[in-house]
Structure 1
Amino acid sequence: MERKAVPGRHPAMGRPSQTTIEFARLRALAGYDILDTPREREFDDVAELAAEICGTPIAVVNFIGDGRQFFKAEVGLRVRETSPETSFRRQAILQSDFLYVPDAARDPRFAGNPLVTGEPGLRFYAGALLRTEDGYPVGTVCVIHLPARKPLPPAVRRPRA
């Protein structure tokens, strides 16, 4: 049986290329028209609730665009945008659902991250993906703590169906 080429798919692999997936993800994010928008109480409530439930001083709702991450809501961070190259969200968006890092200083994925190796010395991170209806990861809701800390309760770490 002859395998037909599908646009955006590598013929030998039968699945979309990373470039095609990223383009579709960015197009889906653009459809929400959320980057560079003002703060909204509903998003602020989500960040505040995440920080409270998880007992962390920092919590954000962010969206990851092309070469940047935009914080729609934040608690304890006081910035609205950063580069994704130094962020934990870059790793989170590669996960299938949830990224949990109890101590980033001991995690090889963050060995070169200046936010871990230098100031402010981030250690703890937990983030759940925000996905479009089509399943494209466009951002995260995450909590951050400077020192390593006790694990989150299992009910918080368990993905919801």
Structure 2
Amino acid sequence: MSPPARCKVPESVLVVIHTDALDVLLIRRADTEAEFWQSVTGSKDTPAEPLPVTAAREVREETGIDAHAPGCVLADWRLQNRYDIYPRWRARYAPGVTRNTEHVFGLRVPAGVPVRLNPREHTQFAWLPWRAAADRCFSPSNAEACLLLPRFATGVAA
């Protein structure tokens, strides 16, 4: 008998990966035929996991990028989104859990940083100017985060 599947923690991160020029990395979900493009997202492994640890782990798992490498700056934007979990993904959570709290981070990376996708999670990636990235995101909270990038990416070209 296999052990029971662990339920996802309904607290997650959204990490907008960007360059100094405000180009944003978007990745296409592998679990749907639809054009679901997004930034890095992911839930805490445990309720006690610190959010910056979750953000760095999810970035590495989904893109192969080390958030702590030279030239990279991970920043907690101190923004939260609370939303209904899409019905297609609710089975991943404990019974009765229907809402998630998402914490928004930015990760500035050097232009040309290599991206290595986890093929179980994502099939393609694209670097887009921040406004074009917002237009491509399937999630409203992700699109809003891309539009906020010039405000939170201090010290870079706007």
TM range (shorter): under 0.3
TM-score by length of 1: 0.26
Structure number with larger C-alpha Rg:
1
Structure with greater helix percent: 1
Q: TM-score, normalised by structure 2?
A: 0.26
Relative contact order, CA 8 A, sep 6+: which one is greater? 2
